[in-house]
Amino acid sequence: MSDKDRVVIVGAGIVGSSLAKYLSLLHVPVTLLDRSLSTTLPDSTGLPPGFVGHVNELPTLTELAKRSVEDYKNIPVGFKSEGSRHRLDLANKYGLPARFRGKRHGGSIRLFVKRDVLAALLFENDGTAAAPTIALYDRSVASSLGARMVEGDVKELVIEHGRVIGVKTTADFIPANRVIVTTGIWTRQLLPDLPVHPVGHPYSHSAERPPRQKSSPFVRWPENHVYGRDHGTYDGIGSYDHPAVSVDASELRGFDDVLRKAYDHCPPTASGEGGVDWKDAKPFNGLFSMTPDNLPFVGRVHGDDRDPSSGVWCAVAVWVTSAGGVAQLLAKAMVEGEEGMTEVERGMLRDLDPRRFEGQDQGALKATSLRAYNNIYNSDD
């Protein structure tokens, strides 16, 4: 086997690491390349609260979430079921188990919320994924199957006569017939025509506190675009209650006011166990990718559609919620082609096709992507 037969994956966050695992399991030789292979995962995968909600108006996202959770449950401490407060009708529509719990129904539920909760909708399969743990685990499986891990900053995908022949890093040229871009918010540096738009998103950690006797489930206040998570020894809160801030259009602004409003949803520590201290909170601005239809881009970007052993592919704008399912799907598509896929999988790949917006006005696509920011959790309806 020559070096060019190795698939080069650029980006070793949860998506690239999971792809390295699934391709290696299918006996495809892989090189996983990243600016940093540090175990602290410097980019999006190192930060998120990792909420995985199954129900989405887009059936492809619901299916990807189901597949991802199946994957994460096989990884030690990769996934914790927590339930979430959300909408019953959509769940029933997709045949997902959901039920009411609360005082009226004889049960009890402890939430770190300020208001009286009469009833809450518990999705038993929803939960939180430990994204860094999953990424590191997947890297170790891939390594044990022969995948190479290489540090390098890719500056260019090298295309000759319509075919990719490798990638250029600041230090080297790495030959490859197939390159997969999994660079998250950095995607447009390598694929400038893909409408992937990074936006700023505020999240804050409370002061440390002793663990609660019973940890609170992940909570959403959809009508206020706010969500919160019990992280064990501190709480986290995030808010979509602000206009989308595109990072390439303007400087990231401070989100202090947005978070101050979000803090108000939790009871203060003075009110006893379950209270939250936001006085010494550690807020930070995260970045994640928006697309015009809220779906990731997964599949071939460039090259001969009849030849799955060549070309430029991508899996970008993928949330933790979908990463395991996306990696499994793409690995299968690259190895088995159309014929090996089920009808459902072929439909998903059509929905996720990176070329679905080709030829459309970039400005209009960006405006549509940013509008979707406040409806990430389908909370408009």
Ligand X SMILES: Cc1cc2nc3c(=O)[nH]c(=O)nc-3n(C[C@H](O)[C@H](O)[C@H](O)COP(=O)(O)OP(=O)(O)OC[C@H]3O[C@@H](n4cnc5c(N)ncnc54)[C@H](O)[C@@H]3O)c2cc1C
Binding site residues, ligand X, CB under 6 A: 10-16, 33-36, 43-45, 47-52, 131, 153-154, 182-186, 189-190, 201, 203, 286-288, 318-321
Going by their DSSP bridges, the two strands 30-34 and 7-10 should be labelled as parallel
CA distance 319 to 330: 15
Residue 184 or 195: which CB sits closer to ligand X? 184
Compute the radius of gyration of the chain from its Cα atoms.
21
| Nearer to ligand X among residue 43 and residue 351 (C-beta) | 43
Q: Which is nearer to ligand X, 48 or 325 (CB)?
A: 48
Q: Nearest to ligand X by Cβ — which residue?
A: 13
CB 222 within 8 A of CB 53: no
Minimum CB distance to ligand X smaller for 193 or for 304: 193
Residue closer to ligand X, measured from CB, 119 or 158: 158
Nearest Cα to Cα of residue 18 among 127, 110, 147: 147
- Comparison of 43 and 235: residue with beta carbon closer to ligand X: 43
3-class DSSP assignment, residue 219: strand
CB of 105 to ligand X, least distance (A): 28
Q: Which is nearer to ligand X, 177 or 182 (CB)?
A: 182
Give the Cα-Cα-Cα angle 26, 30, 31 (nearest 5 degrees): 165
φ, ψ at 309 (rounded to 5°): -90, 15
Min dist CB 253 to ligand X, Å, is 16
Are 331 and 315 in contact, with CB atoms under 8 Å apart?
A: no
Half-sphere exposure of 322 (CA within 13 A, CB side): 24
Residue 186, phi then psi, degrees to nearest 5: -90, 5
> What is the nearest approach in angstroms of ligand X to the Cβ of residue 272?
28
| In contact, 12 and 139? CB cutoff 8 Å | yes
Residue 207 tokens, joined: 């002061």
Residue 229 CB, shortest distance to ligand X, in Å, is: 8
Contact of 38 with 163, CB cutoff 8 Å: no
Q: What is the 3-state secondary structure (H, E, C) of 133-150?
A: HHHHHHHHHHHHCCCEEE
Kindly tell me which of 33 and 370 has the beta carbon lying closer to ligand X.
Answer: 33
As measured in angstroms, the least distance from the Cβ of 184 to ligand X is: 3
Residue 320: closest CA among 144, 103, 151, 69: 69
Distance of CA 331 to the CA centre of its chain: 17
Whose Cβ is closer to ligand X: residue 20's or residue 91's? 20
Give the burial class of 10: count Cβ atoms within 10 A of its Cβ; 0-12 exposed, 13-18 middle, 19 or more buried.
buried
The widest CA-to-CA distance across the chain, in whole angstroms, is 69
